Amino acid sequence: MSESTMKEFKVSAIENGTVIDHIPAKSVFQVIKMLNLENFNDQVLFGTNLESKKYGTKGIIKVSNKFFKSDEVNKIALVAPSATLIEIRNFAVASKTVVQVPNEIVSIVKCFNPNCITNHENIVTQFNVISKDELKLQCLYCEKITDKKTMVIK
């Protein structure tokens, strides 16, 4: 795909909705799952392993007629820390923001501690984010710290 057709694909395909750009190529399917887009009824377009000057390859997702609330979408920062949210209204870019790791993470991450009660009973996991840069999540239950290396997304 040439540079110009890439641009075309990126921004012009939807009239209203959200484009999530700069997703690491390997995380595209995870983001789709985290945002529950599998069960979304309107149009969802996505591409992965696209060329990116900055990141080598990247993924992109476009969701028609959907505008995310920040706590709804910020959790994707766990797998796509540099993802950009572009809101499109009437084919034009209305706003552009970079996702941010939230202060608390509920339900989407599994506690890395095999002896944590959350891995043995039906419990919604909860973590306090104690470092956003290094991604350190402290389990509200066992108090152990799950980090980038040990993180498994449910």
Partner 1 sequence: MKKRSLVSINDFTKEEQLSILELAESFEKNPTRKILENHVVATLFFEPSTRTRLSFESAVSRLGGKVIGFTDASSSSVSKGESLRDTIKTVCSYSDLIVMRHPREGSARFASEVSSVPIINAGDGANQHPTQTLLDLYTIKQTQGKLDNLHIAFVGDLKYGRTVHSLVMALCNFNCTFHLVSPLELKLPSSVKIHIKEKNLVYHQYTSIEEIIGSVDILYMTRIQKERFSDPMEYEKIKNAYILRNAMLENTKENLKILHPLPRVNEINEDVDDNHKAYYFEQALNGVYVRQALLARILGVV
> Which residues here bind partner 1, judged by CB under 8 A?
111, 113, 115-118, 120-123, 139-145
Q: Which residue, among 53, 55, 65, has the nearest Cα to 27 in the 3D structure?
A: 55
Nearer to partner 1, 42 or 143 (CB): 143
Which residue's CB is nearer to partner 1, number 48 or number 119? 119
13 or 142, CB closer to partner 1? 142
- Under the criterion CB under 5 A, does residue 142 sit at the interface with Zn ion? yes
Nearest of 154, 98, 149, 148 to residue 126 by alpha carbon: 154
The binder of Zn ion chosen from 32, 111, 137, 151 (CB under 5 A): 111
CA 132 to chain centre: 15
Among 63, 73, 86, 116, binds Zn ion (CB under 5 A): 116
User: Binding partner of residue 41 among Zn ion, partner 1, none, CB under 5 to 8 Å per kind?
Assistant: none
Do residues 55 and 24 lie in contact, with contact meaning Cβ atoms separated by under 8 Å?
yes
Which lies closer to Zn ion via its Cβ, residue 82 or residue 113?
113
Q: How far is the CB of 102 from partner 1 (least distance, A)?
A: 21
Q: Round to whole Å and give the CA distance between 152 and 108.
A: 9
Residue position matching structure tokens 């290396």: 149
Helix (H) or strand (E) segment spanning residue 72: helix 70-73
